[in-house]
């Protein structure tokens, strides 16, 4: 199988939102697939749950727009429904821009990449308009005021710019919803009266959508907001065409990846980098799905633009399979090792942001990886046993006196050495061991252990040192640390003695390998024959010092 570059040695709908500030806990996890999934599950499973949700409006949805004044704009493949008055009001310029970008999305995904055509809902959810079988329906409205908002979002859809929903009995027949002006409400928004019925009230949408990284305000620059939303949401409609089973993080992850592929100048995915970069040891199923878009971007770069389509084609035939197994099946069909590919992704991920200079630009996950203002966290050195859920990763700082126990670890493991004057050098632990790398770990400016676990069937176990207690290199020639390996847990120190048995020094150790740097050896030991042992009573073993 191919060696990868760095190792040459039932969900009803899916939604999308841009965070006003990625660091703000008020919005983290408040929109997107998790929000609707949380609300739809109890509603689907328990009809009485509907009554426990409090709507943010006090009248039927039709009381907030003129039912006789719903406008329609038809393009080659879409029919857009909108109004020009009331809380759902938008502008003709907004609709014209939306129409152009929808057709661009169709051209890219369906005409160029040959995805299945989306399946159109026969009646729209909010304005309740019968749609044409050959025209995909799109409704433009204030998303938090969508019909039956209490059952969809438990009221507010704070931060949402769009979502996709299957409004009828056919779970694969969908429509797109786009926010009308890219303002949204919060629980503290002012309460206004409907101009169509004064007894009907609603919260004012008064908070602008923005991108914290490029400082764009989308109500003022709605063209950019429309582009990222359309290319993301339209991708969801294609996913529905392949499967109606949506219980996977890959629905949002892959849509966010393609949003970046198609609209690379907005860099919305930067909002989610901190989430992934702080996800050491966490299963991908337990973190915000948008952040996993980087895996999709890696796949696109390494395996081609059609790779994700192949994933969805496999989903359509095996909807009960996990993304990890489907990913593995696709790579196996290409004679590639899936576990090595995932490890390669995790390795490149570490060398991004302020660490990007340690690898070649050709190995960046994205062309702008060096510009990210954050990078993955590295866990402190440890001597504890390490295991990972799946799919997951972890980065550990390596120190010779604090090497983790990998005897129970399953997955891929490698060590990367890097420094101010050294590009990253990767060594796989498929064959090497901590003991064989002890001198390198001791002398390296930086050493990091990179771990990944793709799937349940990933059974690779890192090489373990099974050799007896020894010193190396032997003879020692003054050009590297002097190391002692295979040290027993039952002892706490080693003794070094002269050939006549005189004690030179005792050194405390906490791991099975212990090294002395070259300066310490030269200060303590003249050239000649010496002996060492673990503890004070075990058998002495010889080693030679020559320099």
pLDDT tens digits, one per residue of 258-289: 999 999 999 989 989 999 999 999 999 999 99
Domain presence at residue 4 = no
Domain end among 466, 487, 516: 466
pLDDT digits (tens, 9 = 90+) for 81-111: 999 999 999 999 999 999 999 999 999 999 9
Residues 462 and 513 in one domain: no
Q: Is residue 86 part of a domain?
A: yes
Cβ contacts of 13 within 8 Å, gap of 6 or more: 33, 36, 40, 152, 163, 164, 165, 166, 174
Q: Report the alpha-carbon angle 361-420-473, nearest 5.
A: 110
What is the model's pLDDT at position 473? 85
488 and 447 belong to one structural domain: no
Q: Looking at the structure, do residues 106 and 184 belong to the same domain, yes or no? A: yes
Regions of the chain short of the pLDDT cut 50: 1, 7-34, 41-52
* 138 domain residue, yes or no: yes
Residue 140: Cβ within 10 Å count: 26
User: Are residues 491 and 376 part of one domain?
Assistant: no
Q: What is the pLDDT of residue 4?
A: 59
pLDDT at 392: 98
Shared-domain flag, residues 495 and 433 = no
Residue at which a domain ends, from 409, 444, 466: 466
The CA distance from 149 to 151, in Å, is 5
DSSP string covering 140-192, please?
Answer: EE-GGGSTTHHHHHSS--TTEEEEEE--SS-TTEEEEEEESSSEE--TTSPEE
User: How far are the Cα atoms of 10, 106, 173, 277 from residue 243, in angstroms, in the given order?
Assistant: 10, 19, 11, 30
Cα torsion angle, 223, 229, 232, 238, sign? negative
Class of residue 262 by CB neighbours under 10 A (exposed 0-12, middle 13-18, buried 19+)? buried
Kindly state whether residues 400 and 505 are assigned to the same domain.
no
The tokens of 500 are what?
């006549």
Could you tell me if residue 2 is inside a domain?
no
- Residue finishing a domain among 215, 243, 271: 243
Place of tokens 């320099």: 547
Degrees, nearest 5: CA angle 389-390-393: 80
Q: Are both 448 and 498 inside the same structural domain?
A: no
Q: Which domain holds residue 497?
A: 470-545
Specify whether 180 is located in the same domain as 129: yes
The verdict on residue 493 lying in a domain is yes
Is residue 392 assigned to a domain? yes
Considering the domain architecture, whether residues 172 and 32 belong to the same structural domain is answered as yes
Asked, for residue 3, whether it belongs to a domain, the answer is no
State the number of CA atoms in the 13 A half-sphere of 186 facing the CB: 10
Total domains in the fold of the chain: 3
Q: 121 with 269, same domain?
A: no
- Tell me: do 156 and 196 sit in the same domain: yes
102, 237: one domain: yes
């Amino acid at each position: 199988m191919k060696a990868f570059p760095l190792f040459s040695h039932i969900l009803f709908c899916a939604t999308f939102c841009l965070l006003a500030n990625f660091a703000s806990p008020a919005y983290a996890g408040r929109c997107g697939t998790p929000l609707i999934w949380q609300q739809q599950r109890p509603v689907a499973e328990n009809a009485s749950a509907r009554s426990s949700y409090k709507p943010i409006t006090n009248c039927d949805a039709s009381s907030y727009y003129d039912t006789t004044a719903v406008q329609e704009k038809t393009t080659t493949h879409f029919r857009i429904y909108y109004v020009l008055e009331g809380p759902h009001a938008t502008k003709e310029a907004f609709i014209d821009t939306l129409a152009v970008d929808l057709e661009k999305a169709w051209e890219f995904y369906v005409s160029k990449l040959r995805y299945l055509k989306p399946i159109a809902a026969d009646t729209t959810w909010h304005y309740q308009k019968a749609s044409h079988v050959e025209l995909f329906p799109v409704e433009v409205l204030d998303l938090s005021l969508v019909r039956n908002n209490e059952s969809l979002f438990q009221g507010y859809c704070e931060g949402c710019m769009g979502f996709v929903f299957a409004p009828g009995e056919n779970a694969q027949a969908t429509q797109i919803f786009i926010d009308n002006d890219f303002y949204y409400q919060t629980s503290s928004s002012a309460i206004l009266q409907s101009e169509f019925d004064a007894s009907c009230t609603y919260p004012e949408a008064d908070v602008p959508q923005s991108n914290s990284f490029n400082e764009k305000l989308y109500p003022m620059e709605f063209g950019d907001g429309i582009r990222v939303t359309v290319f993301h949401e339209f991708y969801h409609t294609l996913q529905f065409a392949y499967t109606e089973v949506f219980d996977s993080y890959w629905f949002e992850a892959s849509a966010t990846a393609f949003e970046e592929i198609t609209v690379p100048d907005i860099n919305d995915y930067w909002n989610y980098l901190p989430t992934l970069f702080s996800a050491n040891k966490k299963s991908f199923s337990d973190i915000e799905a948008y952040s996993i878009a980087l895996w999709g971007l890696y796949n696109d770069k390494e395996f081609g633009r059609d790779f994700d389509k192949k994933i969805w084609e496999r989903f359509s035939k095996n909807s009960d399979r996990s993304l990890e197994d489907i990913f593995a099946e696709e790579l196996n069909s290409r004679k590639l090792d899936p576990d090595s590919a995932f490890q390669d992704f995790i390795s490149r991920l570490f060398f991004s942001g302020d660490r990007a200079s340690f690898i070649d630009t050709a190995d960046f996950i994205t062309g702008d990886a060096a510009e990210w203002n954050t990078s993955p966290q590295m866990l402190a050195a440890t001597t504890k046993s390490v295991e990972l859920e799946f799919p997951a990763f972890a980065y550990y700082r390596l120190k010779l006196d604090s090497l983790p126990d990998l005897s129970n670890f399953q997955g891929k493991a490698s060590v990367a050495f890097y420094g101010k004057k050294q590009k990253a050098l990767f060594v796989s632990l498929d064959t090497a061991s901590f003991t064989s790398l002890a001198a390198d770990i001791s002398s390296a400016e930086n050493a990091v252990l990179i771990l990944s676990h793709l799937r349940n069937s990933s059974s690779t176990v890192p090489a373990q040192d099974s050799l007896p207690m020894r010193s190396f290199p032997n003879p020692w020639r003054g050009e590297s640390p002097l190391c002692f390996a295979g040290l027993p847990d039952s002892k706490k120190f080693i003794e070094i003695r002269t050939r006549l048995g005189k004690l030179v020094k005792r050194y405390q150790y906490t791991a099975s390998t212990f090294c002395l740097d070259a300066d310490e050896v030269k200060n303590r030991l003249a050239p000649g024959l010496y002996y060492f042992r673990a503890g004070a009573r075990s058998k002495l073993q010889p080693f030679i010092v020559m320099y």
